[in-house]
């Protein structure tokens, strides 16, 4: 039997991103995002949880998104599904927009 590469993801509220970051993820084509990921229909975004901000300049991920990714890594998750109906996490800021 071959070894499988199994990854974990966590579902949290889109409210952990600022309105500016949400607009960026909505308005910028996925190929030009500052991180790996994609849209989750009309409900949010699915992103790879980098453990640091890998970009510079226009490729730099917004600080709020990086904070979410670093938190997810500490929770031993490789990906984050930011869902409009996801749970709010006490350890992360929440933004009403």
What pTM was computed for the model? Answer: 0.88
User: CA angle at residue 84 from 78 to 89, to 5 degrees?
Assistant: 60
Q: Does an H or E element contain 72, and which?
A: helix 63-74
Write the pLDDT tens digit of every residue in 22-81: 999 999 999 988 888 999 999 999 999 987 776 667 678 899 999 999 999 999 999 999
The alpha carbon of 35 is separated from its chain's Cα centroid by a whole number of angstroms, namely 8
């Amino acid at each position: 039997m071959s070894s499988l590469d199994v990854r974990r993801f966590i579902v949290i509220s889109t409210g952990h991103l600022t309105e500016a970051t949400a607009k960026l993820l909505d308005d910028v084509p996925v190929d030009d995002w500052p991180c790996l990921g994609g849209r989750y229909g009309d409900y949010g975004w699915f992103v790879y949880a980098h453990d640091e901000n890998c970009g510079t300049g226009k490729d730099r991920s917004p600080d709020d998104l990086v904070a979410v990714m670093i938190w997810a890594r500490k929770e031993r998750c490789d990906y984050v599904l930011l869902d409009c109906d996801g749970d709010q996490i006490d350890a992360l800021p929440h933004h009403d927009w």
